[in-house]
Amino acid sequence: MDLAQFLPQFGNLAFTLLAFVVALSIIVAIHEYGHYIVGRWTGIKAEVFSLGFGPVLFARTDRHGTKWQVAALPFGGYVKFLGDANAASVGGDGGRVPESQRRQTMLGAPVWARALTVAAGPFANFLLTILILMALTLTQGRAVDPLTVATLQSMPPSIVQDLRPGDEILSIEGREVGVESLGEVAGELPVSSDIDYLVRRDGQEVVVQGPHPLPPAVGSVAPNSAAWDVGIRPGDVVIAVDGRELYAFDELVTIVKESNGRTLGFTIWREGELIEFTVVPRRSDLPLAEGGFETRWLVGLAPALAFDLETESPGVFVAFTDSLGQLWFIVTSTLSGITHMVTGAISTCNLSGPVGIAETSGAMASQGALSFLSFLALLSAAVGLMNLFPIPVLDGGHLVFHAWEAVTRRPPSDRALRVLMAAGLSVLLTLMVWAVANDVFLCP
């Protein structure tokens, strides 16, 4: 292979792996820190806090006697509490710990302390999701009425653009418009290269022409989608599909939806150049706000407004409640997706493994810090939720054991724990193999 051809591929692979390691390290560190800090608060001593596995690269011991270390293999991490047999905080021989220290072990601590310590890991992941979403909301702000143009998207010369930064948009094609109604109004507008805008400019109301508010401009591209795989990127403008000129993003949605998977020829305008792409839509399962899923043909493009709007920070409380709502949607959509996959209502290709997650990490990082942080918030919520599943080996399985002990006043027997742990590990390995097969062979 020509070295000049190999280097870009190697660079992309290295970037993807780096993005994956960064995402995984942050999520694992937060998850394990949740276990650690609540364990410490409830009187359970952590002997080791490790980022990664294998040979130790760096280590130090703090004043609480906890060894903090970074290991050579960065794909995971763990907290090992006093008396644990292994990093999973299962089993162990509490009898080898002096009686004076038994209360500091997972086996010797009250069941409430153990349950809180276990639950703290997933809770920390949910908290990370909320904090990231809050930060994004506070830094990006929200558009407010009256709609005021901040910047204009770069558009092909064929599209009229007489709007200016600072214009207050009062109506579009005679329809009054505001933050809440912009999407609805955009969907009712005629398809045209020039739309009439009534704006307030320098204290006077004037009518100017501009593009459709939702032109066929690419705001974001879903990682590993049909559009992403052929090289379409944010900022591109789809000016035609199969020779048909486009002026509104809804036109593109309709063409793709009605394609039935037929190969489409995209003409893209990118910074003054025209580029041709061949795109094959893929069937995808989309979560609905009211629950359930809709299966549609998609290429993985999301729209961008023809203009960026001036924003204001909504305040911490509003950002917090919005973030809670987004977290709730992520959790319920994930649970609904799992249910629909189990019942066969949607494709099992919706299950991604480490290969797919790594590819998505690299793709989102390549689209910028905001995209990567949004992905990190989503992944953290997914990891927190997955760990709450009542499967032995996972935190949810431990919580079931602790609930059993709280009700029966006795822990599960060692034999029962061994059998259940083996069963849980088998389930996880099966899911992992299935997910990797999806990534590599079944759902490329």
Q: Range of 10's domain?
A: 3-44+109-139+381-442
Shared domain check, 271 and 297 = yes
Shared domain check, 177 and 250 = no
What is the three-class DSSP state of 343? coil
Tens digit of each residue's pLDDT (9 = 90 or more) over 232-281 = 999 999 999 999 999 999 999 999 999 999 999 999 999 889 999 999 99
273 within some domain: yes
Shared domain check, 388 and 431 = yes
Decide: 82 and 36 in contact? Cβ < 8 Å.
no
Alpha helix positions (H), 351-413: 354-366, 369-387, 395-408
169 within some domain: yes
Shared domain check, 227 and 194 = no
The pLDDT of residue 339? 83
Residue 89: Cβ-neighbour burial (10 angstroms; 0-12, 13-18, 19+): buried
This prediction has a pTM of: 0.84
The pLDDT of residue 381? 96
Shared domain check, 124 and 8 = yes
Q: What H or E segment, with its residue span, contains residue 24?
A: helix 3-41
Shared domain check, 132 and 18 = yes
Domain boundary among 182, 210, 238: 210
Shared domain check, 132 and 175 = no
Which residues of the chain register pLDDT less than 50?
Answer: 1-7, 95
Domain boundary among 276, 308, 340: 308
Closest by Cα among 90, 82, 85 to 118: 90
The pLDDT of residue 355? 80
Q: Which residues pair with 302 in a beta bridge?
A: 220
The pLDDT of residue 4? 44
Shared domain check, 11 and 128 = yes
Residue 196: Cβ-neighbour burial (10 angstroms; 0-12, 13-18, 19+): middle
Task: Choose the catalytic residue: 32, 245, 258, 310.
Answer: 32
342 within some domain: no
Is 32 one of the catalytic residues? yes
Shared domain check, 248 and 304 = yes
Where on the phi/psi map is residue 77: left (φ > 0), alpha (ψ -120 to 50), or beta? left
Shared domain check, 264 and 148 = no
Domain boundary among 210, 240, 258: 210
7 within some domain: yes
334 within some domain: no
- The total of structural domains in the chain comes to 3
State the virtual CA torsion across 12, 305, 213, 211 in degrees, nearest 10: -60
239 within some domain: yes
| Residue corresponding to tokens 């019942």 | 343
Q: What is the CATH number of the domain that holds 195?
A: 2.30.42.10
